[in-house]
Chain A
Amino acid sequence: MSESPLQGQDGSGAPVRPGQLTVRNLVKTFASRQETVQVIKDVSFTIEPGQFFTLLGPSGCGKSTTLRCIAGLERGDRAHIAVSGRVLADTDTGAFVPASDRDFGMVFQSYAIWPHMTVAQNVAFPLHANRRRHQLSRKEVGERVEEALALVRLDQFGGRIATKLSGGQQQRLALARALVTRPDLLLLDEPLSNLDAGLRDHMRGELRAMQLRTGVTTLYVTHDQSEAFSMSDVIAVMDAGVLAQQGAPRDIYWRPSTAFVATFVGQTNLLSVVRPPLQAGSGILSVETTIGPLLVNVASERPIGPGDSVVIRPEDLQVTREPPLDGRANVFRGRVRRPTFLGENIELEIEIGSELLMTRQHPRFAFGAGDEVYVELPVDRCVAVSGAAAGVGSHIRGTIGDPAAPHTNAAQ
């Protein structure tokens, strides 16, 4: 490959701007004595300059390994990784730039604050280690350290021994150290997971504000959906080594593409598809489900059939005592099984045929167990997804009479 550095590395010829990250065909296998595990199975994505891009997935899905391959801390078995048009790893040509020469900022889950240095020394380290690339005088180094510390509001703490800082301060220190060289790319590996809940919510806002201020392209890895939703421009959901779906937070939530994505982010109802739709194609189609025919949104790239599911979020169900006006689609009669008053809302399980659907309604609706109700599943909120629910992170209600159907199997 001998393209000019300003040409796209994917052969499309599209111009590459500084801060753009391209990952193509990333594969990574870990071999131990007992077994070989392919933790990343062919992952490709592009992060546009200035984007806050989040890899979201359960533990063991390969998200951290993906980040470490981009950082250069792991070598992919197969990979093409380029940032700002500069090829960092390409298994076809054998090119591999070591982590120390990639010029990225990174915040580790454990922060990796060096305990034998002061706060200022921690921040200054990348400038010293990089002296060849950042030709700075002693004075300039001091200024850059001040600037980075001020950015995270630690400018009063420069002389402190780093381990004397609180958890939140250490986290900000790690961020200052990652940003002090003004890198093209910032890598964040579950940076908030070691903070307590209150601080985590606060740091979420800080982190995003910082990213917007500096405009640095950011790759964020987390298993926490609220972190992902609140900060990201783009979320990529990872599952078992593959990218299940990539999109804006709202798309991920309202238009999931697989049952896994639907159940991993937020609570959801999943209804199994019984027969393929009568008409082929996409758009709003009538699909036979376990509670009867439903009008649902079918995406053009995913024809559905038995084994697939229909998703509707609990807060989208319309529950009324009186029948809705004629002409409404997707209306079913049901019976309230278990109303749970939660203060800000009321959670209901509604029995429709042999299925249980979960919903949240305004608490002023005083539903009681056994009440007969009408349930509308608004057409634009019913989405066909591929696959059925299974495994960790599912929030699906079981069918009636299934004692194993857990009421509280919500992971997190």
Chain B
Amino acid sequence: MAAAAVLIWIVVIPLIYLIVFSFRSGTAAAPGDWTLANYALVYTSKMTHAALGNTLIYTLMVATLSMAIAGGLAWLVERTDMPYRGAAWVMILLPIAMPGMLSSMAWILLLGPRTGLINVILRGLLAPFGYDAPSGPINIYSMEGMIFVESVRGSTTLFLMLVAGFRLMDPALEEAASMSGARTGYTLRKITLPLMLPMLLATWMYSFIGTLDDFETPLLIGLPAQIFLLPTVIYFTAYLSSSWGLAAAYATIFLLISVVLVFVYHRVVLRRTSQFATVSGKAYRPRQIELGRMRWPALGLVILYFILAVMLPLLILVLASLLPFYRVPAWDMFSELTLMNYEQLFSNTRVLRAAGNSLWVSFWVASGTMILAFLLAWVIVRQRVPGRMILDSIAFIPHAIPAVVVAVAMIMFYLSPAMQWTGLYGGLIVLSLALVTRFIAFASRTSNAAMTQIDASLEEAAYVSGARKARVLARILFPLLLPTFVAGWIFVAANAFRNLNVSLLLSTPQNELISVTLYDYWERQADFSMASALGVVLVVGLAAITILARQLIARGYSGND
């Protein structure tokens, strides 16, 4: 029951405060009269219309483009005889280690209108043809730029979902078409595509909802370009112009949109997809389509993706981090390369303190989220407690709350007269609670799924052997679920560590996380070299931890056998 109370405390109450506050004037700390003025302002503001329009274009385009990229890559890897498919897997999955903030930064360094490396090179190449503008030809600070960066980055998760979808399909369905006399193209048109359609739609919508929540690209590229999206409008009104009532109104509207979409996704789209599920027990792999002369060009496409998603961004970041001051790269700069930025990084008290904060927050957020999720899963899946389905729904709500909304709701709640006296606002605890709210939906789904897999009789055998509940939980369930627990822990810890969307809005000088420091170096101090150095350390650290953790998990599994 304590778990239920925690859940209500971190999910339901802040949302209620958010919604209530959107109908009041004044500040969160000293709310004024009841009013509809916030909504009136939202309704009449030009910014609203622009933001809604931008958000719609951005999410539609990113979802469609990343879907196309991911679909193409998944098809090449799963269903064709493209060479080096093993290496292709790695190349496609590596971008996971790249936080969105860093890809945006890297692409700004590459495609910034004046100093972007690629632009400089292009201007050089185009000069003989009469191109002599001081900037361009490509401008990353545009809607197209944002869409490009996010589509390339967002494809990896979709790739994994699509590969799983491809594998779920019974190969016999296509073989039956062959046996019926259908050639490859006809089978693709009449059997494969129609069968995959619900799954493709579901993946597309998943991508759409995820992009709606995306904050980092709109922040780093959109804000300087004066292109506002819903999340950045909220950040802008709340943080930069301190109109909290207005921000609450925006957040409430954003919340509503997101909840409707997530509801449709789960209750309509996913159910439809499961009706089409065509799982079979046969182990035959589907036949691979022979690409013939196109085999090597196909691999070229994968490599191109790898270059755009990982190699170019990482190279430019490393290069920038080795320059004493960032300037347009040129051939003479190789003499200037220095490790100075890294030395400064490791001796800078602000950076070290932020890193300490980030470690502390990641550890407690991951532990807290996973323990809460497991207790909830136990109640929801196993115990016959009335109201457990309500708990399940509450745990699921955060899935539909955009990160920015979580942050604003937390601010409203902890700055409110009811909570102000605690002095928690601005500290690491509120930040951590906000992050737990952020990740509880993921953790809860994972734990529920894992708990469902474990046969109830394993627990019942322990009860019959005379064990009480606590012992059953500790000695039977926990060891069985440990691999899931560890995997989920690492996922949450890594994501909390690199989180920007919640932590930036809740940041104060006292609770600064490393991601916020990075953003600060980049945006406010415009020290691109230090920001790059910090970014490189972050990527290397995250990659190392992920690999190490994976090996630990693998060992844990074999140890349990």
Contacts and interface: CB of A to CB of B under 8 A. Distances in A.
A125 B195 contact: no
A104 B181 CA distance: 8
B175 A114 contact: no
Given A103-B181, A110-B281, A181-B181, A125 B190 contact: yes
Contact of A108 (B175, B187, B194): B175
Contacts of B449: none
A115 B180 contact: no
A126 interface: yes
Interface string B157-195: 000000000000010110111111111101100110011
A73 B178 contact: yes
B172 A109 contact: yes
Given A73-B175, A109-B172, A112-B172, A130 B180 contact: yes
A100 B173 contact: no
A129 interface: yes
B287 interface: yes
B182 A125 contact: yes
B178 A104 contact: no
B172 A108 contact: yes
B194 A116 contact: yes
B135 interface: no
A113 B181 CA distance: 16
A177 B178 CA distance: 13
Contact of A109 (B173, B178, B183, B282): B282
A250 interface: no
Most buried by B among A126, A129, A130, A177: A129
B287 A129 contact: no
Interface in A343-402: none
B325 interface: no
Interface in A59-100: 68, 71-73, 98-100
B34 interface: no
A105 interface: yes
B180 A126 contact: yes
A106 interface: yes
A102 B181 CA distance: 7
Given A110-B280, A112-B170, A116-B276, A177 B176 contact: yes
A118 to B, nearest CB: 13
Given A73-B287, A129-B186, A114 B173 contact: yes
B278 interface: yes
Nearest to B86: A33
Contact of A112 (B176, B181, B276): B176
Contacts of A103: 181
A133 interface: yes
B198 to A, nearest CB: 9
Contacts of A110: 170, 172, 280-282
A100 B184 CA distance: 9
The B contact surface, by secondary structure, is helix
A206 interface: no
A108 B184 CA distance: 19
Nearest to A194: B281
Given A73-B175, A129-B186, A114 B181 contact: no
A106 B179 contact: yes
B179 A116 contact: no
B178 A99 contact: yes
A52 B195 CA distance: 34
B118 to A, nearest CB: 40
A125 B177 CA distance: 8
A244 to B, nearest CB: 24
Contacts of A109: 172, 280, 282
Contacts of A114: 173, 176-177, 191, 195
Contact of B180 (A68, A72, A129, A163): A129
A71 B175 CA distance: 10
Contacts of A106: 175-176, 179
Nearest to A99: B178
Nearest to A73: B175
A101 interface: yes
A115 B276 contact: yes
B172 A125 contact: no
B172 A104 contact: no
Contacts of A100: 177-184, 187
B276 to A, nearest CB: 5
Most buried by B among A100, A101, A126, A181: A100
B176 A72 contact: no
A129 B182 contact: yes
Nearest to B196: A116
A109 B275 CA distance: 20
Contacts of A163: 275
Contacts of B194: 116
A133 B181 CA distance: 9
Contacts of A130: 180-181
Given A110-B281, A110-B282, A101 B181 contact: yes
Nearest to A111: B172
B175 A99 contact: yes
B80 to A, nearest CB: 17
Interface of B: 170, 172-173, 175-184, 186-187, 190-191, 194-195, 197, 275-276, 278, 280-282, 284, 287
11 contacts: A68-B284, A71-B175, A100-B178, A106-B176, A108-B175, A114-B195, A125-B177, A125-B182, A126-B179, A174-B176, A177-B180
- Shortest 5 CB-CB distances between A and B: which pairs? A126-B180, A130-B181, A112-B172, A129-B182, A112-B176
Interface of A: 68, 71-73, 98-106, 108-112, 114-116, 125-126, 129-130, 133, 163, 174, 177-178, 181, 187
Given A73-B175, A115-B275, 12 more contacts: A102-B179, A103-B181, A106-B176, A108-B175, A109-B282, A110-B281, A112-B173, A112-B175, A125-B182, A126-B180, A129-B186, A181-B181
